[in-house]
Amino acid sequence: MQKNNTVANNKPARIGKGNGCPHYKKCGGCHLQNMTYEEQLKFKQIKCIKLLGKFGRVKEIIGMENPTHYRCKVQAAFSKNKTGIISGIYQSSTHKIVPIDTCLIEDSTADEIIVTIRKLLKSFKLKPFDENQMTGFLRHVLIRKGYYTGQIMVVLVTGSSLFPKSRSFINALIERHPEITTVVQNINNKFTSLVLGDRNITLYGDGYIEDTIFNYVFRISPRSFYQVNPVMTTVLYGKAIEYMELSGNETVIDAYCGTGTIGILASGGAKKVIGVELNADAVRDAKFNAKRNDIKNIEFYTADASDFMVEMAKAGQTADVVIMDPPRAGSDERFMSSVVTLGPKKVVYVSCNPETLARDLNYFIKNRYKVKRIQPVDMFPHTNHVETVALLVRKINGE
């Protein structure tokens, strides 16, 4: 790595060599904890250079200044063992719960609330859910925190709608944690490994929280997709917006738009934004978010991004900028060939998997585009995941 480059304005903290987390070996969630944070960044940088270096210079990965307790979405499973009620994390690739009270990457307040809930269960004589017998009360707790607003949502996932003494339970919880802004009971009565069921009952507050990215407000409901590391999300999205270089006249397509975050951030600098996303619930949230921010120049469509782009290309429509943020599997040739037909000047590719990014960049460079920037961002310290923003520009004739 080069010296003097960005680690969110400061030197990275030295964490690792097994001294970061007592649960490291049992839990298996953080793959890179045997390394210091500097080593982790180097490891990710080398991985990106190996996969992406052939397309151009890979900028130095942007790391976190404080790479701990960054997860603002925290889930705990509840069960019972010889010692009593336990709460914790499923061991990587198994259904065994590793009992934990604190986690190096989870928000600390969320962890404290989970411990309080475990203690309250005992004093209220409520039982954890037994998945084999399908009896008992509490299955999971999900906590979501708005990093910038400080709002906290507690979701109690229960095996049925019965919640004995719910009012006094909630009162006791709020008394111990007045920072909680809403409590929701989610009912999951199915034999499933999914955490959330279909039904929500708001027990306290609004039933959702809000958080901000730059000056925009986003609603987070129990089910909404929202990036889990808000600090690095602003870095990642900030890069994506910077690479678009909007002047106010552009038509921007936000493909794989989720709840519309990137498109909404781009809308202030563009003439028009069109968002496309497969998940209808996410599109509903995206439309809501656009209204919440009083944005009029954005439209969202529920569709397969490739089908949508093929239709746009067939209809002879144009776009100046395409921003794409596909899942780990990356995009496909139908999508990319339609992008090439639409011929935007810029394509900004936000990727959570450098392997599929490499495959997809290869397609673009063979089809009229060149790679101008490659910027890795460490959204998930201590795990082996790495996000990358790449800027592609259309070649001018003869280039």
Minimal distance, residue 303 CB to ligand SAH, in Å: 7
- Out of 60, 250, 325, 360, name the contact with ligand SAH by CB under 6 A: 325
CA distances from 54 to 2, 49, 346, 359 (A): 18, 8, 20, 12
Q: Is 256 in the site for ligand SAH (CB under 6 A)?
A: yes
Query: Is residue 257 among the annotated active site residues?
Result: no
- Alpha-carbon torsion 111, 113, 116, 121, what sign? negative
Enclosing H/E stretch for 337: helix 333-342
* Closer CB to ligand SAH, 22 or 327, in the complex: 327
Q: Tokens standing for 298? A: 């954005």
Binding of ligand SAH at residue 305 (CB under 6 A)? yes
Query: Please, what sign has the CA dihedral across residues 72, 77, 80, 81?
Result: negative
User: Kind and range of the H or E element at 292?
Assistant: helix 280-292
Distance of closest approach, residue 343 Cβ to ligand SAH, in angstroms: 21
Among residues 43, 225, 288, 301, the one that binds ligand SAH under rule CB under 6 A = 225
Strands of 84-90's sheet in order across: 97-99, 84-90, 73-81, 138-145, 152-158, 182-187, 199-204
Q: CB of 80: closest distance to ligand SAH in angstroms? A: 35
**Shortest distance, CB of residue 274 to ligand SAH, whole angstroms?**
13
What is the pairing mode between strands 321-324 and 251-255?
A: parallel
Q: Does 214 bind ligand SAH (CB under 6 A)?
A: no
| Strand partners for 373 | 391
Instruction: Work out how close the CB of 175 gets to ligand SAH at its nearest, in angstroms, rounded to a whole number.
Output: 35
Q: Which sign, positive or negative, has the C-alpha torsion 257, 259, 264, 265?
A: negative
Closer residue to ligand SAH, CB minimum distance, 250 or 277: 277
- Whose CA is closest to 185, among 165, 211, 159? 159
Sole binder of ligand SAH in the list 60, 107, 277, 360 (CB under 6 A)? 277
Among 130, 245, 281, 304, binds ligand SAH (CB under 6 A): 304
Backbone φ and ψ for 153, nearest 5 degrees, come out as -110, 130
Provide, rounded to whole angstroms, the least separation between the CB of residue 267 and ligand SAH.
Answer: 14
Could you tell me if residue 214 is left (phi over 0), alpha (psi between -120 and 50 degrees) or otherwise beta? left
262 near ligand SAH, judged by CB under 6 A:
yes
Q: Does 242 bind ligand SAH (CB under 6 A)?
A: no
Q: Is 211 in the site for ligand SAH (CB under 6 A)?
A: no
Provide the token pair at 382. 């201590």
Residue matched to tokens 């990106």: 48
Residue whose CB is nearest to ligand SAH in the complex, by number? 258
- The smaller minimum CB distance to ligand SAH, of residues 79 and 293, is found at 293
Measured between alpha carbons, how far is 350 from 358 in angstroms, rounded to an integer? Answer: 12
Q: Which is nearer to ligand SAH, 185 or 388 (CB)?
A: 388
Interacting stretch for ligand SAH, rule CB under 6 A, among 49-57, 118-126, 148-156, 257-265?
257-265
The closest alpha carbon to 160, from 119, 201, 206, 125, belongs to 201
Q: Which residues pair with 216 in a beta bridge?
A: 213
Of 45-53, 63-71, 253-261, 388-396, the window that binds ligand SAH (rule: CB under 6 A) is 253-261
List residues with catalytic annotation.
352
> Which residues sit at the interface with ligand SAH, rule CB under 6 A?
225, 227, 256-259, 261-262, 276-279, 282, 304-305, 325-327
